[in-house]
Amino acid sequence: MTENTPDSPTPSRRSLLAVGGAGLALGAAAAGGAVALTRSGDGSDMAPAAESGGAVPFHGAHQAGIATAVQDRLHFAAFDVKTDDRDEFVQLLKDWTKAAALMAEGRPVGDGAYGGLAEAPPDDTGEALGLKPSRLTLTIGFGPSLFEKYGKKFGIADRRPAALVELPKFPGDNLERTRSGGDLCVQACADDPQVAVHAIRNLARIGFGKVAIRWSQLGFGKTSSTTPDAQTPRNLMGFKDGTRNVAGTDTAALDRHVWVSDAGWMKGGSYLVARRIRMNIETWDRTSLQEQEDVFGRDKGEGAPVGKAKERDEPFLKAMKPTAHVRLAHPDSNHGATILRRGYSFTDGTDGLGRLDAGLFFLAYQKDVRKGFIPVQRALSAHDALNEYIQHVGSAVFAVPPGVRDANDWWGRGLFAAKDV
Amino acid sequence: MTENTPDSPTPSRRSLLAVGGAGLALGAAAAGGAVALTRSGDGSDMAPAAESGGAVPFHGAHQAGIATAVQDRLHFAAFDVKTDDRDEFVQLLKDWTKAAALMAEGRPVGDGAYGGLAEAPPDDTGEALGLKPSRLTLTIGFGPSLFEKYGKKFGIADRRPAALVELPKFPGDNLERTRSGGDLCVQACADDPQVAVHAIRNLARIGFGKVAIRWSQLGFGKTSSTTPDAQTPRNLMGFKDGTRNVAGTDTAALDRHVWVSDAGWMKGGSYLVARRIRMNIETWDRTSLQEQEDVFGRDKGEGAPVGKAKERDEPFLKAMKPTAHVRLAHPDSNHGATILRRGYSFTDGTDGLGRLDAGLFFLAYQKDVRKGFIPVQRALSAHDALNEYIQHVGSAVFAVPPGVRDANDWWGRGLFAAKDV
């Protein structure tokens, strides 16, 4: 291995070092050009939607990627831990945090674009070089199995939050083990899919030997909006769903329904439920318009609740069939249970029978899954007319810690390093 | 079934008919707002890149989606024929053509957004309603198996072009039957993935009982450019590849290398090779920068050929290793063989071993595969240093007929309806 000296004779070395500098300059320019977002400690961290291509601040009281205005694309990965060594795992969390902060600014991981040595593998895999930050957010979560399998080894057995429960088995669940669970997760959202894929790939690479991807999911179309002015995007059934989502600008609603307020390392964090929901597309597409609208409790064109004119009109639940999706999912039918949805549509080719393997990758954040997703899904899984056309095939739940406050902080510090944060 | 009368008492009916009208208006507005593209008969059909969101004209001497400035996203589907009835198949091609022309303008298929009857399934599945045309192009191709299996039944046995050959088995090929072949294909490219997915889905739906999807592939990041001013996008190895692509504006090069000039029903068409190329991402990512650059024959940062400063500098092939990808793929190493590339990156989750199932979905158009892809791939498969890091796992070849000239023409008319076109 040669040293990284300025008079290295390798031509590619020199050009790469120059590129490394350009990469840093690009990152700085891109970050400077982004909408100036202020992330304060009060939860109002994402007031205006950043322009597409800009950078979303990585540091703050809450992790970005929850209240953040929903980006266009998703790469979600669940990891399993492969090391028994607490120090090694903590170092990984620190390394990941550093890389995530760089990538959120549109900068390559490591020291410049490709590190210093031509004889070493590049620090960054390179496919995002020259692309904008694209509002990349990276959001980490810890699964129940991390505490079950590594609680003693990592000294965190007594730190599992009471709210981090396994989800019960719901009627109709047809979960695949290879699409469920995970000791850790990272949600990467960005307006450019190559940026989201690059981020997960580089984190996986940094984690080589310490963690391994258990499953992952790409999402190509957002199905929820956290910005109340925007039109709700349509899901692959052609419907607007999740109209009354928690707005990322509504600090009171976030405090009430999304951010954990209990003292302890999860304060300022949230709980994430991920469900891969396969849609029986071909069956749905042969269903009458009337049946489709009855199933949702909305009209298909405008998205208005039954008997109403506009999508955002207050729904009159009793006008809907008792099995209508909107009626059953509404907070008024579930003792006020409210979740923040950030789901994405997926299409993963075709199954062995020529049918599209397509549906909704449902992501929901909440203060407590026992008062959020679980009661809502109990009602839906028992009664929802939509169940004839969908199937839950993947499931996971994660404790999503609070934000990384500054360059000295790291993902999971509250869990691993301090009894109070 | 009730009739579609104006005084129908169903509230959702009325609102939907209104939406149907709005859908038409939207389509017209979007088409009017697009860059005015002129598609003449001389091959210079896509001179300026349409703005993102606009419409690409469907009718013309050549099918759109070949010389068209490459869009951001892809949904590619191979279909198998499921009917023995020639008339039924021809009617499908006519129905598909009509639907494709509507969708290219950003309009729903069928009569308005959801047709007339609440008691019938909607004509359009709806998930693209309200989205822009997003430069959607739909490009059809006919595979060798269509002639082998249906040549007699459809009366086209003597019309198989001599140039529509099966690809030979190349060294290293590890083809999966379920990702290869197909009687037909449709390539959907658009700047919005939901628009591309919607298009394939609605064609599949229209084809129900007559054709079935054999395999499909989503691509999220373009890896080639047909616009010479643009930077070549990076593939998932982090490299710019295919810099010297045929430009969609270079009518002389298109005539020489891409468009079929022989008399007959394929005149003005082209031949498409599709290859799913899996990358051994994890191995590649642990390879030294020097080795990566030697493999490609370019530097990673700028993309310049060995010893040169800029990506588009003329490569000096002898400065590269004999196994360098750029050297082996260059026309000068292959008696001038030149292809038009329109490939896309893909990431389809994770394989059973925790590795990303990611790579390049390679799409190349050419006048004759026997003088285009086949000689180039013979050289690459035998000598390319890249072979250590990639594997071809899917393969197909299609005869792509000329463009649909006007509203009375249809995909494949030359093949099915006329001896000369």
Judging by DSSP bridges, how do beta strands B73-81 and B211-219 pair with one another? antiparallel
Q: Say how many C-beta atoms besides its own lie within 10 A of residue A21's C-beta.
A: 12
Angle between helices B289-296 and A11-33 (to 10 degrees): 100
Question: pLDDT digits over B306-342, tens only?
Answer: 999 999 999 999 999 999 999 999 999 999 999 999 9
Angle at the Cα of B90 from the Cα atoms of B88 and B96, rounded to 5 degrees: 100
Structure tokens at A306: 């039954």
Structure tokens at A241: 């769903």
Give the chain B residue whose CA is nearest to the CA of A1: B288
Judging by DSSP bridges, how do beta strands A184-190 and A356-366 pair with one another? unpaired
For B234, which of A10, A73, A127 is closest by C-beta distance? A127
Q: Comparing C-alpha atoms, which of B37, B122, B68, B161 is closest to residue B363? A: B68
Q: What is the mean pLDDT of residues A292-320?
A: 94
Q: What is the pLDDT of residue A117?
A: 72
Q: What is the pLDDT of residue B51?
A: 58
Name every chain A residue with its beta carbon within 8 A of the beta carbon of B218: 218, 220, 347-349
Quickly state the pLDDT bin for B49 (edges 50, 70, 90): very low
Residue B298 confidence (pLDDT) above 80? yes
- Tell me how close the Cα of A231 comes to any Cα of chain B, in angstroms: 9
Q: What is the pLDDT of residue B14?
A: 29
- Tell me how close the Cα of A271 comes to any Cα of chain B, in angstroms: 24
Name every chain B residue with its beta carbon within 8 A of the beta carbon of A236: 125, 127, 197
Quickly state the pLDDT bin for A34 (edges 50, 70, 90): very low
A15·B237 Cβ contact <8 A? no
For B356, which of A20, A122, A201 is closest by C-beta distance? A201
Q: What percent of chain B has pLDDT over 70?
A: 86
Q: What is the pLDDT of residue B108?
A: 94
Angle at the Cα of A408 from the Cα atoms of A85 and A65, rounded to 5 degrees: 85
Three-state DSSP state, B100: helix
Q: What percent of chain A has pLDDT over 70?
A: 86
Q: What is the mean pLDDT of residues B105-130?
A: 83
Least confident of B261-265, B267-271, B417-421: B417-421
Q: What is the DSSP string of B118-180?
A: TTS--SS--TTTTS--TT-EEEEEE-HHHHHHHTTTTT-GGG--TT-PPPPPPTT----GGGS
Structure tokens at B24: 């038409």
Name every chain A residue with its beta carbon within 8 A of the beta carbon of B188: none
Give the chain A residue whose CA is nearest to the CA of B112: A301
Per the document, the length of chain B is 421
ipTM: 0.86
Q: What is the mean pLDDT of residues B220-243?
A: 88
Q: What is the pLDDT of residue A112?
A: 58
Quickly state the pLDDT bin for B43 (edges 50, 70, 90): very low
Q: Say how many C-beta atoms besides its own lie within 10 A of residue B357's C-beta.
A: 16
Quickly state the pLDDT bin for B355 (edges 50, 70, 90): confident
Residue B24 confidence (pLDDT) above 90? no
Q: What is the pLDDT of residue B112?
A: 58
Q: What is the pLDDT of residue A51?
A: 58
For chain A, the farthest-separated pair of C-alpha atoms sits apart, in whole angstroms, at 78
Name every chain B residue with its beta carbon within 8 A of the beta carbon of A281: 201
The mean predicted confidence, pLDDT, of chain A is: 86
For A119, which of B73, B281, B290 is closest by C-beta distance? B290
Q: What is the pLDDT of residue A418?
A: 63
Give the chain B residue whose CA is nearest to the CA of A20: B301
- Structure-derived torsion over alpha carbons of residues B136, B142, B146, B150, reported in degrees to the nearest 10: 90
Question: pLDDT digits over A200-251, tens only?
Answer: 999 999 999 999 999 999 999 889 888 877 778 999 999 998 888 999 999 9
Q: What is the mean pLDDT of residues A252-274?
A: 97
CA A27 to chain centre: 23
- Rounded Cα distance between B365 and B392, Å, is 18
Q: What is the pLDDT of residue A11?
A: 32
Name every chain A residue with its beta carbon within 8 A of the beta carbon of B11: 307
B10 exposed, middle or buried (CB, 10 Å; 0-12, 13-18, 19+)? middle
Question: pLDDT digits over A117-170, tens only?
Answer: 788 899 999 999 999 999 999 999 999 999 999 999 999 999 999 999 999 999
Q: Comparing C-alpha atoms, which of A176, A54, A60, A198 is closest to residue A122? A: A198
Beta bridge partners of B80: B212
Global pTM reads: 0.88
A118·B214 Cβ contact <8 A? no
Give the chain B residue whose CA is nearest to the CA of A191: B192
- Rounded Cα distance between A361 and A215, Å, is 13
Q: What are the CA-CA distances from residue A360 to residues A219, A221, A279, B294 (Å)?
A: 8, 9, 7, 42
The mean predicted confidence, pLDDT, of chain B is: 86
Q: Comparing C-alpha atoms, which of A409, A388, A350 is closest to residue A94? A: A409
**B197 phi, psi to nearest 5 deg:** -65, -40
Angle between helices B11-33 and A289-296 (to 10 degrees): 100
Contact A206, A97 (CB under 8 A): no
Choose from B1, B286, B345, B350 for mutation: most chain A CBs within 10 A: B350
Q: What is the pLDDT of residue A184?
A: 98
Specify the amino acid at residue A366. Answer: Q
Residue B130 confidence (pLDDT) above 60? yes
